[in-house]
Amino acid sequence: MLLSPSGKSCSYGSISIEEIIDKFLKVKQKDRKCDFAEGKSNSFEALEDLHKELQALNEKEKKRILMHKIMHPGSEIPSDKHMEEQKLALKLRVEKI
């Protein structure tokens, strides 16, 4: 469960970090005109930072998969437990905001 910018509780049917962050960023864009005079809220700044971290992790994962496909064509791509742990840590940080 997360809190909306107005402080009301929100729940999402998806557990995807990307979808939750994207949803919050869309709310931010709608409310940006109202909040512009007051400056960015800490929650949105934190979400933006997490979104950037997630994008970096996703790019790193894409490169890892591509390199594996080049180096080991036809073989199964092993999971990266460290990457999964990092994404889980990001999800937990999103839930705290």
C-alpha to C-alpha distance for 54 and 59, rounded to whole angstroms: 9
Backbone angles phi, psi at 3, to 5 degrees: -105, 140
pTM of the model: 0.54
* Residue 37 reports pLDDT greater than 50: no
Q: Kindly state the average pLDDT of the residues 59-84.
A: 92
Q: Which residues of 61-77 are buried (b: 16+ CB within 10 A; e: fewer)?
A: eeeeeeeeeeeeeeeee
Q: How does strand 9-10 pair with strand 2-3?
A: antiparallel
Give the pair of three-digit tokens for residue 91. 């999800």
Q: What is the pLDDT of residue 40?
A: 59
Mean pLDDT of 56-63: 93
44 phi, psi to nearest 5 deg:
-70, -35
Give the type of residue at 57.
L
Q: Give me the pLDDT at residue 29, please.
A: 60
pLDDT the model gives residue 60: 93
